[in-house]
């Protein structure tokens, strides 16, 4: 028996062909790790093609998980362990593996014809190109076949179980219990696959233990998480549940109009299963019908929602303007992906910020909120519904592919402790006018058709200030434009909170990093890393993009230099310069991939003045 070596933090990646079951392997490893008490963060990375030709680079699917005995905010920069099920997976992922890292390959797939498919000319297992890594060659296919012999399964089916063999090896390496995955296999598969997968899993575990291929096995102690009940949750799941809870807290039924689009479709799938909670889901004929139906539902007294990604947002522009004009509550979720046009459907980006802010005809201000982590999607969904119903306005909720498919442990909130914000539909005809506003929120009354005495007409043509009748008068138009902008400006947004080195306008600090959306984890970790090495640096995160927190300008002016890391060409930096006149420096990345902590750290090092530099 190998001695147990304690580790604080591990990043491991499973990579193989789309048909190799790497997502299943990764999510099973995640669940078991979560149950073992580690903090964790995951990142699946899969191709847009459903089944690209087997063995090619286009078909490589990966799943990275970082698990730790302390808080983690990102799925990790570089894995120290890589499982590569074929040469294409090796080629696509090897550059990320840490030098000296453990590389486990599925030996049988390293044949000349596999090299050809992957577009490599020599055998990497023999040509010395992997000398910097601890290479472990495992004949997974043969051993899986032996393990499940007698179950009467064909070669193809045998091949489909070898991911469980790999998973079994990984469990042995990190001293994990097989029970969770075994129970899952029992519920998920019928015979003979149930038996085959179980045997493959155990065989992988036994093999790792027996042959002593690995120098050591590791233990990652439990993280010191706040006490409570936990579940592991994906961003899209948290968002779906948040929308349901938000609508219930508002006391209105939820109506989702949606057209399938990667990476947002899972929200439609998820909500379609929640009919018992009063959730209606409508798969519309196109993106415009999706938002049109949601607007119609909101007019009818339900909470209209639509979920989409960038290309769908582009199609919804005119209808969002209609919701602005008719002042109806609406939440439009954009799970951002790489653009422009079809772009990178399965990859992440933050390049729709300006589209969300300004992507409509006319002066059409819309509230914009962004989630910072998979679990934050839950809170942000509730917050979006609260703002939409309180102020009678559309709210755009931005997440991205990295949040949507990433997961982390979530301390399950007590739903009864989440404050309700019940909608009061107007029923009193006395003194009713369709566009008379609440003095505080500037919301117009929400009236359900069917209410006697409150019949009224709304539409996309400019409204007279109080009656809502069609009106083309110059001064009325100007007044209404100001009112619609003021209404958004009045959404209550908490002040920005600064972590790290303090600064004030009178006595500015050295360096501030401003983040938004899914970059929060990488920026926070990068700043922590820099501070631990003596750099004077601070971090603040923006949740509301419109309206911005009232103290935004003041916070930015409290530092000599402001960096804005974002996965676009500097859209927030552009906005912040306009809003605050602070010369923010964009730190951009547009590779369809999230920031690495090391990249944030490098940016801090680069932009730190000599006096604020640490001893790194």
Partner 1 sequence: MTTEPVQKPLLTKKDYMSDQIIRWCPGCGDYAILAQAQTVFAELQIPRENLVVVSGIGCSSRFPYYVSSYGFHTIHGRAPTVATGLKTVNPELSVWLVTGDGDALSIGGNHTAHVLRRNVDLQILLINNRIYGLTKGQYSPTSEHGKKTKSTPLGSVDHPMMPLAFALGCDASFVARSVDIFTKDQRDVLRAAYEHRGAAFVEIYQNCNIFNDGAWDQLVDKTVRDERCLFLTHGKPMVYAGGKKGIRLQGLRPTIIELGDGLTADDCLVHDETDPYLAAILARMDYPEFPVPMGVIHRKERPTFDAEMNEQLVEAKAAAEAKGPIDLQALVTGRETWTVG
Q: What angle do CA 584, 589, 594 make, to 5 degrees?
A: 115
Task: Return the number of the residue (196 or 238) whose C-beta is nearest partner 1.
Answer: 238
Q: At 83, which helix (H) or strand (E)?
A: strand 81-84
CB of 493 to partner 1, least distance (A): 25
Phi-psi bin for 355: left (phi > 0), alpha (psi -120 to 50), beta? alpha
CB of 375 to partner 1, least distance (A): 11
Q: What distance in Å separates the CA atoms of residue 96 and residue 99, rounded to the nearest whole number?
A: 9
CB of 489 to partner 1, least distance (A): 26
CB of 102 to partner 1, least distance (A): 27
Q: What angle do CA 317, 322, 325 make, to 5 degrees?
A: 125
Q: What angle do CA 291, 387, 425 make, to 5 degrees?
A: 80
Task: Return the number of the residue (416 or 615) whose C-beta is nearest partner 1.
Answer: 416
Task: Return the number of the residue (212 or 430) whose C-beta is nearest partner 1.
Answer: 430
Burial category of 600 from C-beta neighbours within 10 Å (exposed 0-12, middle 13-18, buried 19 and up): buried
Task: Return the number of the residue (163 or 326) whose C-beta is nearest partner 1.
Answer: 326
Angstrom distances, CA of residue 329 to CA of 258, 354, 357, 366, 592: 16, 21, 17, 11, 32
Q: At 333, which helix (H) or strand (E)?
A: strand 330-336
Q: What distance in Å separates the CA atoms of residue 245 and residue 242, rounded to the nearest whole number?
A: 5
CB of 280 to partner 1, least distance (A): 6
CA dihedral 505, 510, 516, 521 (to 10 degrees): -140
CB of 277 to partner 1, least distance (A): 7
Task: Return the number of the residue (272 or 489) whose C-beta is nearest partner 1.
Answer: 272
Task: Return the number of the residue (15 or 447) whose C-beta is nearest partner 1.
Answer: 447
CB of 269 to partner 1, least distance (A): 15
Instruction: Judge if the upstream peptide bond of residue 547 is cis by omega within 30 degrees of 0.
Output: yes
Q: What distance in Å separates the CA atoms of residue 102 and residue 98, rounded to the nearest whole number?
A: 8
Task: Return the number of the residue (293 or 307) whose C-beta is nearest partner 1.
Answer: 293
Task: Return the number of the residue (39 or 566) whose C-beta is nearest partner 1.
Answer: 39
Residue 268 three-state SS: helix
CB of 376 to partner 1, least distance (A): 15
Task: Return the number of the residue (245 or 594) whose C-beta is nearest partner 1.
Answer: 245
Given a contact cutoff of 8 angstroms between Cβ atoms, the answer to whether 87 and 56 are in contact is no
Closest to 462 in 3D by CA, of 355, 304, 321? 321
Task: Return the number of the residue (284 or 572) whose C-beta is nearest partner 1.
Answer: 284
Question: Scanning the structure block, which residue is given the tokens 């801090």?
Answer: 604
Task: Return the number of the residue (289 or 527) whose C-beta is nearest partner 1.
Answer: 289
CA atoms in the 13 A half-sphere facing the CB of 294: 34
CB of 335 to partner 1, least distance (A): 21
CB of 219 to partner 1, least distance (A): 18
For 495-575, where are the E strands, in sequence order?
498-500, 509-516, 538-542, 544-546, 559-566
Given a contact cutoff of 8 angstroms between Cβ atoms, the answer to whether 352 and 308 are in contact is no
User: Both tokens of residue 446?
Assistant: 């929400």
Q: What distance in Å separates the CA atoms of residue 313 and residue 334, rounded to the nearest whole number?
A: 7
CB of 379 to partner 1, least distance (A): 12
Q: What distance in Å separates the CA atoms of residue 110 and residue 125, rounded to the nearest whole number?
A: 8
CB of 225 to partner 1, least distance (A): 5
Chain centre to alpha carbon of residue 488: 25
Instruction: Judge if the upstream peptide bond of residue 263 is cis by omega within 30 degrees of 0.
Output: yes
Closest to 84 in 3D by CA, of 93, 76, 73, 75? 93
**Number of neighbouring beta carbons within 10 Å of residue 482:** 11
Task: Return the number of the residue (240 or 405) whose C-beta is nearest partner 1.
Answer: 240
Task: Return the number of the residue (137 or 231) whose C-beta is nearest partner 1.
Answer: 231
CB of 135 to partner 1, least distance (A): 35
């Amino acid at each position: 028996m190998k001695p147990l070596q304690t580790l604080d933090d591990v990043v491991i990646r499973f990579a193989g062909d789309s048909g190799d079951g790497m997502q299943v392997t990764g999510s099973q490893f995640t669940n078991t790790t979560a149950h073992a008490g580690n903090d964790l963060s995951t990142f699946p990375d899969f191709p847009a093609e459903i089944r690209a030709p087997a063995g090619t680079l286009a078909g490589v699917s990966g799943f990275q998980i970082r698990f730790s005995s302390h808080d983690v905010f990102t799925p990790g920069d570089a894995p120290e362990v890589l499982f590569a099920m074929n040469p294409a997976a090796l080629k696509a992922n090897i550059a990320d593996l840490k030098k000296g890292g453990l590389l486990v390959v599925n030996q049988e797939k390293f044949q000349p014809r596999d090299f050809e498919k992957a577009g490599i000319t020599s055998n990497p297992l023999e040509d010395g190109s992997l000398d910097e890594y601890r290479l472990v060659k495992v004949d997974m296919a043969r051993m899986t076949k032996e393990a499940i012999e007698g179950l009467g399964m064909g070669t193809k089916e045998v091949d489909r179980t070898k991911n469980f063999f790999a998973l079994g090896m990984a469990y042995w390496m990190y001293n994990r219990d097989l029970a969770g995955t075994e129970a899952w296999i029992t519920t998920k598969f019928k015979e003979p696959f149930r038996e085959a997968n179980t045997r493959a899993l155990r065989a992988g575990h036994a093999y790792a233990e027996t042959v002593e291929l690995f120098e050591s096995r590791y233990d990652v102690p439990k993280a010191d998480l706040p006490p409570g009940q936990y579940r592991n949750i994906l961003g899209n799941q948290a968002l779906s549940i948040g929308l349901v809870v938000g609508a219930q807290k508002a006391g209105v039924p939820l109506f989702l109009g949606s057209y399938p689009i990667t990476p947002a479709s899972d929200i439609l799938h998820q909500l379609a299963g929640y009919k018992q909670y009063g959730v209606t889901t409508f798969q519309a004929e196109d993106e415009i019908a999706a938002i049109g139906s949601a607007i119609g539902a909101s007019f009818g007294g339900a909470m209209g929602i639509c979920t989409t990604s960038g290309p769908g947002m582009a199609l919804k522009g005119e209808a969002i303007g209609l919701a602005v004009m008719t002042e109806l509550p609406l939440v439009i979720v954009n799970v951002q992906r790489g653009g422009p046009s079809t772009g990178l459907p399965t990859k992440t980006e933050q390049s729709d910020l300006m589209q969300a802010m300004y992507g409509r005809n006319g002066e059409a201000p819309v509230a914009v909120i962004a989630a910072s982590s998979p679990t934050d999607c839950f809170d942000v969904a509730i917050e979006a519904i609260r703002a939409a119903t309180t102020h009678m306005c559309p709210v755009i909720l931005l997440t991205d592919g990295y949040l949507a498919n990433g997961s982390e442990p979530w301390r399950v909130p007590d739903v009864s402790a989440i404050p309700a914000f019940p909608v009061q539909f107007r029923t009193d005809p006395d003194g009713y006018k369709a566009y008379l506003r609440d003095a505080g929120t500037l919301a117009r009354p929400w009236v359900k058709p069917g209410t006697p005495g409150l019949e009224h007409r709304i539409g996309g043509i400019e409204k007279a200030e109080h009656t809502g009748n069609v009106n083309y008068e110059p001064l009325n138009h100007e007044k209404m434009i100001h009112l619609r902008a003021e209404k958004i400006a009045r959404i209550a947004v908490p002040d920005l909170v600064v972590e790290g080195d303090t600064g004030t306008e009178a006595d500015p600090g050295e360096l501030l990093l401003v983040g938004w959306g899914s970059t929060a984890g990488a920026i926070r970790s990068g700043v922590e890393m820099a501070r631990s090495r003596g750099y004077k640096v601070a971090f603040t995160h923006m949740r509301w993009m419109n309206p911005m927190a009232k103290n935004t300008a003041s916070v930015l002016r409290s530092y000599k230099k402001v960096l804005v890391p974002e996965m676009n060409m500097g859209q927030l930096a552009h906005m912040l310069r306009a809003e605050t006149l602070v010369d923010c420096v964009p730190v951009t990345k547009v590779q369809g991939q999230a920031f690495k902590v090391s990249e944030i750290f490098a940016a801090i090092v680069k932009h730190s003045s000599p006096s604020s530099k640490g001893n790194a």
